[in-house]
Amino acid sequence: MPENKNWRYIYALLKLAELGAHRRTAKVSTEFLARKLGISQQSASRRLIELERKGLIERAITHEGCLVRFTTQGIAELNKLYSSLRFLMETTYPPSITLEGIVFTGLGEGAYYVTRDFYRKQFIEKLGFDPYPGTLNLKLVTDYDIKTYSELKACPAIEIEGFTNESRTFGPVKCYPAIVE
């Protein structure tokens, strides 16, 4: 899904959270939500339907408006936004993470994936270079490095979209700038 659509959903979740829907069932009229989002009443109604269809909220229609409550998935999306913003606001930018480990030989599959046309075109477009046909495999040894690696998820990444061909599905890829010493 294009990122600009995601932001529409995130912004709607944020406005619903301001009304308390992340903690309890909140009564929301589409007219009021439309004013909060700066869109038409019909668009606000469609946005609620889309959020429900994506499993981010539960809603019930009453004659006074909608009763809206976040699902576990909706709360997780809001927490992801919170974590990203907190990381950006509390960390000197650009963030720097140092990982140490042991380089090892993989199974040789990296070249296969990196050279898939759909991936390769995005690497060139989004990263600005044609990547080496392979991967660098690093085994993290210390608990510190393993914990630090898990914090990488909060860092801004360059997203490479996944795709499906006639025989299989290839997942999305997150890329991070790195210096290898």
Other CB atoms within 10 A of residue 51 CB = 23
Ordered by start, the domain boundaries in the chain are: 3-75, 101-175
How far apart CA 47 and CA 137 sit, in angstroms, is 43
Pick the CATH number of 3-75 from 3.40.630.30, 1.10.390.10, 3.40.1160.10, 1.10.10.10: 1.10.10.10
pTM: 0.52
pLDDT digits (tens, 9 = 90+) for 37-88: 999 999 999 999 999 999 999 999 988 779 999 999 999 999 888 877 877 7
Q: Which positions ≥6 away from 153 have C-beta within 8 Å? A: none
How far apart CA 51 and CA 28 sit, in angstroms, is 14
The residues that bridge with 61 in the sheet, in sequence order, are 66
Torsion of CA 180, 146, 83, 161, to 10 degrees: 60
CATH number of 101-175: 2.40.30.30
